[in-house]
Structure 1
C-alpha cells in the first residue's frame, strides 16, 4: 500500500497549487438530504452542471451551501439553538463542526431483505446502526471523522440448505464459491465498529486528494447502480476527485480515481459446508488482500445543457500479483482483448466497465438516465457488434416532479427504475457467469461479504416504482417493487434439477416518509414482501404442475431512523 501512497500523492502535489477550498460531504444514503438536493436540481434551483453520478456529494463547494446539513435554512430559522454551520477558530483560518448524530433501525420478520444500507448486514430480526463525529478544516486540510457501529440480532431463518439434496448443495457452492456473499453472518448476534464515513483530504480549487473510508456511488441510478453503491460497508481507499465541475470551452468535467483495499467477511456461503457423506463443498478463499482501483469520468457538452455522458472502469487483483505502476494503475489497458495482450499476460485481472448517461430537464422538472455495464470485455469490435448483450447489465430510470396547484413549493414526485443484472439468452452460446464474479478473484466484487455494486447482486433483477408528496425536506409516499433473486443461479442449476420449480420472486409494497422538525429528521419505511417460491423450494411438488402450493412466505421489513443536526 506504501507504493500507492507515493504515486497518488506525487500526482496530487501538482494539483495542490490553486486556491484553497474545503470539502464536507453528505454521505451516500443520508436520509432526506441526498434526495432533497437532487429534487432541488430537478426544480432548477441548484447548479445543473453537477451530474449526481459521483458521490458522496460535496454541496459546500458544488452548490455553495454553507451548512450542507441545513440546505433549507430550517436550523437557522427554527432550530433549537437558532444557529447552524461551522465554528471558526485560529483567526478564521480553521473551522469545526459537530456532524449529525444518526440512529438507523431495521427489522425483518422472516428472512433478510433490503440493500443500500452501508455497514448493516442482510439479517433477520432487529438491527441498528449509530454514527456521528466531527468535521474540521485547517487551511487546505480537512478531517472528517464519522465512525459507524452496527448491532444485529442476526436470528436464524429457513435458508437454502434446509432439506436440500447433496446435488443441490453442490450446485449452490459451485456458484457461490466464486463470491463472498454469506447467506448468514455467523450463528449468533453480530456487532462491529467501522471507520464509516471518515476521510482526510487536501483540497485545492476544484480538486481533492485524500484517504477515505466513505461509501461511493458511481452512476446516475437512484435505486441501484452497477459499479458502486452503499450496499456494502465503505472500504479504505485513496481518492483523487473533483469537488465541483471543471469548466472548459467545450463543457464541464467531473472525475474520480481510487485505489483501495477490500476485505473478506470471514464467513462461508452457507452454515452447512459439507454434504451428507462429509465431502467439503466450500473452497477457502485465497489468503491475500485484494486491491481495487478504478475511475469514473463524465462530461457535460456545452452545446447540450443537462446532458451527462460518463464512463467507469475498475480493476481488481491480489496484492501479491502486483508489480509496478502499470499493475497498480492499469487504466490504459485496451478495452478490446485483441489489443490488450491478455492471452500472453500471466496477470489476468478481474475488471468491469460501464457507460452511462443522464439527461436533466429543469424546466420540465424531470430527468431520464441509463447505465450499461459489461463484466467480460469483447475480443474485438466485431465480437461486440455480433453479441452486444454478452455479459451485459443495465439500469434505466426516470424521475418527474409535478407541481400541485394552489400549493406553494409542494409537488408529486414520480420515480421508476429497472435494474437487470442477469444474463441474456446469449448464455446458451457463451455463458458469462455472475456479473460480480470471475475466476481470477474468487471473493468476487465484494467487501466484507456484500456486493459493492447493485444490491440485488449477481443475477438479481429489480423493477421499482414510487410516488411521493414532497415539500422541502419532507416527503410521504408509497413504493412498489418486483425483485427476482439470482436468475443466473436459477437458469444454470435449479431449473435443470426439476422442471417443476419456479423462480424466486418478491413483490413488495411500502409506505415511507421523511419528516424534519427543528433539528431532527425522521425517516420511516413499512414494507410487506410476498416471496413466491422462497429459496426456490418445493414443499409439495406436483408432477407436471406449474404452480406449487404452500411454498410462498410473507416477510415484514421495517425501517425507522432519527438524525439530529447540531
Structure 2
C-alpha cells in the first residue's frame, strides 16, 4: 500500500471516528446484549416479533434507565449520512469436527477458521417524510476445512452432503480443500417514506423470540437475498403497536449437493406480523409464515407473488397414491408469544410452529400436534447490590415428530425437508431455521455475569440429533444408536477504550456420530473475536 492510500485511509478513519455503525454481527455478543437492553428497559422503539441485524431504526439511546456498558450500542447521532461499521476480526478452532451455530455466512469447519467484516452505512434525507438508508457490510471468511469421515450417501448426491436425506442440501464439509469466500453479509439498501420501507437486503433476521434455535428464521445461514416491503418499525395505534412486512427472495444451492444445473435456485416468500396490545403490558404476539418452491420460470406467474397470503387450504394439493400432498410449495408457519416485564427483568416466550399444509379445521382437531414444533424459553436478569447484573436463561426446542405423527412420512414431514422440493429449507448448504437441524431436540442453560466493563458466561447444551430418522429407520427395535451431544462453554467479553475482546472455550462430547454405534468423539473449540471501536 503506497503513502497516498495510507493517508487516505487514515483520513477515512478520522472522519468516521465520531459516527456509529449499527450492525449486530452474527456470532458475537452484540445480538444478545441488544436483546438484554430491550428486556431491561421500557423502549418505545422495541421490535415486536422480528429482530434484525441492522438496528439503525431500533438503536437504543442515552436515556435508557439500564445500560451497564454506558453508551455501548448507542449511536452518537440519528441522522448520520455516512458512518463506518466497526471492523471485526474473528478466529475459531475446532479440534475434531465442524461445529458452527448462529454465525451467519461463516461456516466453522474442522481446523482453523477466520473472518473479517467492516463496512459503511448512512441515511440520506429525501424530504420531510422520507429518507434513503444504506448498509454495506460484507464479510470475508476462511476455513481450513480439514478432513472428516462422512458416510457415503445412500442417495444420488454429493459425498459431502448430509447422507440421510435425499432432498436436503445440508453440507457436512465444503469440499476437500480449504474454503475462502466473500458474502454480502449484513447489507441493505432501502427507502423509507412515512413509516413504510421498501428495499433489498441480505441481512440476517431472527423471527420470533427464541435466542438459540428460532424455527423459521435465524442467524444459522447466510442472509437470504430478498426484497422487503412493510412497516419500517412498529406503528402506534389506539389498541397497541403493530408490526408487519412481506418479502420475496431467492435461495441458492451449494456446490456440494448434486450436479443438476436446472435446480440451483428456489423461490421463497413470506410475511411476518406482530401485535403488542396496549391493554396488556409487556405482551408481544407474532405470526410468521414462509413458503418456497423450485425456481421454474415456465411455471411461475403473478400468483406466486401472493403465495404467502393465498395458499391456505387443500385446493392446491395433489393426491398421490391415496395420500394428499402438496408438490408445488413447502411451507412453515409459527405463532409466537413473548411477555417481558422490565421492572422484574423477566421474559417468558414460546414459539409454536406447523410444517407443511395443515389441511382443514377437522384435521387440526383430530391431530392438533401433527407436524408441530415448539420453543419454550425464560430469561431472568437481576441486579446485585454491587450494581452488577446476573442473567439466567433457559431454552428448550423440539423439532422431532412424536410416535403418532410418524405413522406416515406424509402425515408429519420432517422440518426443513420436503417430499418434492430439492435442497430443503437451506441457503448455500446451511439450514435457515434452527441450527440443530431436522428432527432434533435440545435444551440450553446459560448464566451470564455483567459488570460495567465485562461479561463472563457459562453455557451447557444437550442435543439429540434427527430423532425423526431414528424413529423411522429403527421402529420397533429395542436398541438403536441415537446421535446426541453434550457441550459446555465458558465465555468472556471485555470492553476497552478502543477495542472489545471476546473469547470462548468449549468442550463437546458427541456420541454415535452419523448414527454409528461406538463412534464417539470430543471436540475442543477456541474462539477469539476482536473489534476496533472506531465509533467509541
TM-score normalised over the length of structure 1:
0.81
Residue 257 of structure 1 aligns with which residue? 246
Aligned ranges 1:278-297 → 2 under 5 Å: 284=260, 286-297=262-273
Q: Given the superposition, is the C-alpha separation of residues 320 and 402 from structure 1 closer, same or farther in structure 2, using an over 3 Å criterion?
A: same
Aligned ranges 1:2-13 → 2 under 5 Å: none
Residue 553 of structure 1 aligns with which residue? 521
Structure 1 residue 509 corresponds to structure 2 residue 488: yes
Residue 460 of structure 2 aligns with which residue? 480
Residue 425 of structure 1 aligns with which residue? 403
> Aligned residues, how many?
498
Structure 1 residue 324 corresponds to structure 2 residue 292: no
Structure 1 residue 342 corresponds to structure 2 residue 317: yes
Structure 1 residue 197 corresponds to structure 2 residue 186: yes
Instruction: Please state whether the residue corresponding to 2:296 is helix, strand or coil.
Output: helix
- Deviates further, 469-478 or 247-256: 469-478
Instruction: Please state whether the residue corresponding to 1:38 is helix, strand or coil.
Output: helix
Residue 489 of structure 1 aligns with which residue? 469
- Deviates further, 217-226 or 134-143: 134-143
Aligned ranges 1:29-48 → 2 under 5 Å: 29=26, 31-47=28-44
Q: Given the superposition, is the C-alpha separation of residues 212 and 467 from structure 1 closer, same or farther in structure 2, using an over 3 Å criterion?
A: same
Counterpart selection for 1:530 from 493, 502, 509? 509
Aligned ranges 1:164-243 → 2 under 5 Å: 175-243=164-232
Q: Given the superposition, is the C-alpha separation of residues 438 and 464 from structure 1 closer, same or farther in structure 2, using an over 3 Å criterion?
A: same
Residue 315 of structure 1 aligns with which residue? 291
**Cα displacement (A) at 1:110:** 0.8
**Cα displacement (A) at 1:207:** 2.8
Which portions of structure 1, spanning 4 or more consecutive aligned residues, are displaced by more than 6 angstroms? 344-347
**Cα displacement (A) at 1:485:** 1.4
Residue 466 of structure 1 aligns with which residue? 446
Counterpart selection for 1:381 from 356, 361, 375? 361
Aligned ranges 1:95-106 → 2 under 5 Å: 95-106=81-92
Cα distance between partner residues in 1 of 2:495 and 2:229: 34
Residue 73 of structure 1 aligns with which residue? 71
Cα distance between partner residues in 1 of 2:335 and 2:122: 36
Q: Given the superposition, is the C-alpha separation of residues 288 and 527 from structure 1 closer, same or farther in structure 2, using an over 3 Å criterion?
A: closer
Q: Given the superposition, is the C-alpha separation of residues 24 and 201 from structure 1 closer, same or farther in structure 2, using an over 3 Å criterion?
A: farther
- Deviates further, 343-352 or 553-562: 343-352
**Cα displacement (A) at 1:33:** 2.5
Q: Which runs of 5+ in 1 are unaligned?
A: 1-22, 77-83, 89-93, 269-281, 540-550
Residue 279 of structure 1 aligns with which residue? none
Instruction: Please state whether the residue corresponding to 2:404 is helix, strand or coil.
Output: helix
Structure 1 residue 53 corresponds to structure 2 residue 50: yes
Q: Given the superposition, is the C-alpha separation of residues 291 and 70 from structure 1 closer, same or farther in structure 2, using an over 3 Å criterion?
A: farther
Instruction: Please state whether the residue corresponding to 2:506 is helix, strand or coil.
Output: strand
**Cα displacement (A) at 1:507:** 0.7
Cα distance between partner residues in 2 of 1:35 and 1:59: 16
**Cα displacement (A) at 1:293:** 0.7
Cα distance between partner residues in 1 of 2:210 and 2:373: 13
Q: Given the superposition, is the C-alpha separation of residues 186 and 173 from structure 1 closer, same or farther in structure 2, using an over 3 Å criterion?
A: closer
Q: Given the superposition, is the C-alpha separation of residues 472 and 237 from structure 1 closer, same or farther in structure 2, using an over 3 Å criterion?
A: farther
Deviations 1:127-160 (A, max 9, x none): 1111111113221112211111110000002333
- Deviates further, 96-105 or 325-334: 325-334
Q: Please say if residues 75 and 518 of structure 1, whose CA atoms lie closer than 8 Å, have aligned partners that are also in contact.
A: no
